[in-house]
Structure 1
């Protein structure tokens, strides 16, 4: 494998170009390196719950199979790559933003591009956030991550005429007050395609069936429909299929202590089975065109 690392992201690529698959994996919430003097006051215990714990490690099985893996090194609680750059709550800023903002429903619940709360009632900042600081985070962290992801997706599409993109996440076992499913126990896996717009629904159904066959409880587009990344990069009419896969943390880790649990290795083996099957699925679909 070939690994490149900088302050923003890491990329692990297949060692040999001829083993490359039309598959790209990215983990935008795997980072834990908080930049110096961020102004964040939330306690580490609360910040840890915003981390997609060990997701990049779980999916590290992909590069040896032929799929590059992109992982963020900066935390989503610093700036969230899975939010649109306009997904900002103006009330958080120390001065008016120079262009129109479009805060999402998640943003209004405290989880926008710049997070308001780490957990319900646990603020990220003591006061307003500098608009200049937000622009800095966009230019130095957000945009480089997206540039790297776009390059991987474009390269795969140019080589194969198709690309299947897996956007990887973890989720709390039970939704909290900042979520749409507060207090509700979640399934093991949620696969989302923006309600059939970021990927061919047949592919989404196929992916769900693979995890179902492995013994996981799976739901499609509930409680998550997919975030900015799959919305932005998924263009199924152009043979660019992007799905978001959320894995319940209780399947593979001790959520209270943020430590791997007994299920970690089994889940990783199952993800290897999934990516191997996806390689075969992609090859078959390309032959049909």
Structure 2
């Protein structure tokens, strides 16, 4: 089932911080391209260029892990058992069959069945998460704690999931459960002070499976998700085009955010 391509790229962390980018990949599993609709083949729901937004981080000693395969192969930010991310709301699946616009991604009769979904989870999802978990544990062992920043982006208007236009910068900490409150406040402070950008904390996007699963402050692993509206750094009508000048203001904000996370340290307790 799995091709020979790597499932991720990884620059190991030299600091307590790891940036993870699970949805920017565009590779497809063997034979999948022929089963997609013309609209599906555009891979429109990719987190476009997010790996470029954080490219600076590796030079600061920040770990940088990014998936190479499309979320249409398997969504690394969903529960492998198919539990909905937002119960009662419209959710995309572990192996999505519809796009963010609600249109079918697959030609008639070509959608994956339960057995294929399970095979994809074994071939793509589980190896990725095994490496992510191992990297976080290595960071925690070296530094005494680990911080995971999960980097995402989405089209700014997606009526299937939210009304109106999304704020530019959407910080999610699973309602405060995935990281130390001081860390969340420090991160959100950077976003609130970002000139020209709107922001919200635990709004429509509170953190996906990755943030919720790995964010365990009591075990000294702190996780945050940052969902960015694509219109604040790119042309949503020209998805594949990367414009460094247009992205520069957001990259400057992300640099300040990463710097703030790097300078945060957990409070020591009597039992630590």
Structures share fold, TM-score greater than 0.5: yes
Secondary structure of the structure 2 residue equivalent to 1:70: strand
Per-residue deviation, 1:281:
1.7
In the other structure, the counterpart of 2:55 is 60
* Partner-residue secondary structure (3-state), 1:210: helix
Aligned residue for 1:75, secondary structure, equals: coil
Q: Residue 78 of structure 1 is aligned with which of 69, 73, 76?
A: 73
Q: Give the root-mean-square deviation of aligned CA atoms.
A: 2.2
8 A contact 1:42–1:122 mirrored in 2: no
Q: Tell me, in whole angstroms, the C-alpha distance in 1 between the residues paired with 2:263 and 2:206.
A: 26
Q: 2:203 aligns with which of 204, 207, 222?
A: 222
Q: CA deviation at 1:211?
A: 1.8
1:253 is paired with a residue of what secondary structure?
A: coil
Is 1:29 matched up with 2:23?
Answer: yes
TM-superposed deviation, 1:64: 0.8
2-structure distance, mates of 1:287, 1:104: 33
Q: Figure out how many residues of one structure are paired with residues of the other and give that number.
A: 261
Distance 1:123 1:106 in 2: 22
Which residue does 2:9 correspond to in 1? 10
SS in 1 for 2:231: helix
SS at match of 1:142: helix
Query: Secondary structure of the equivalent of 2:264?
Result: helix
Moved more, 202-211 or 257-266: 257-266
TM-score (norm 2): 0.88
Is contact 1:195–1:221 with CA below 8 Å preserved after alignment? Answer: yes
Please tell me whether the aligned partners of residues 170 and 203 of structure 2 are also in contact (alpha carbons under 8 angstroms).
Answer: yes
Query: In the TM superposition, what whole-angstrom CA distance separates every residue of 1:33-72 from its partner, at most 9, and x where no partner exists?
Result: 1122126423257743210000011111111101110000
Structure 1 alignment gaps of length 5 or more = 15-19, 88-101
Which structure 2 residue ranges, 5 or more long, are not aligned?
Answer: none
